[in-house]
Amino acid sequence: MKFTRADEYTGAEAWDALDIAEIDGVTIRLHWTDKPYVWHVNDGAEVFVVLDGTVDMHYREDGAEKVRRMAPGDICHAETGDEHVAHPDGPARVLVMERKGSI
């Protein structure tokens, strides 16, 4: 058994990750960040769960940029091809599940 307290993990730099598990080719990683990621499109589905802090998820839908504020407990499921970028509002910890090697 392995136990992790999300609020105790801090990376050395934004988007550092603690590998939690790999299950059937899917990685489960705890990310710490205090800076935005970059706009990107995943090459597979992604599940993004805010565990600590607040994150503004920017995404494009039909060419229009939209923003959804995510608080602890909020879950975002991005399908293949969904363009998005996460902007934390201060330090945040997020659990990300995606295919191993996905961008």
CATH of the domain at 67: 2.60.120.10
Both structure tokens of 58: 């920017």
At residue 29, φ and ψ (nearest 5 deg) are: -135, 140
Is residue 2 domain-resident?
Answer: no
pTM, 2 dp: 0.93
Predicted confidence (pLDDT) at residue 103 exceeds the cutoff of 80: no
How many other β-carbons are positioned within 10 Å of the β-carbon of residue 99? Answer: 16
- Structural domain count of the chain: 1
pLDDT, average across residues 7-15 = 96
Is residue 79 domain-resident?
Answer: yes
Helical H segments across the chain, by residue range: none
In terms of residue numbers, what domain contains 84?
8-99
Is residue 72 domain-resident?
Answer: yes
Query: 54-95, pLDDT tens digit by residue?
Result: 999 999 999 899 999 999 999 999 999 999 999 999 999 999
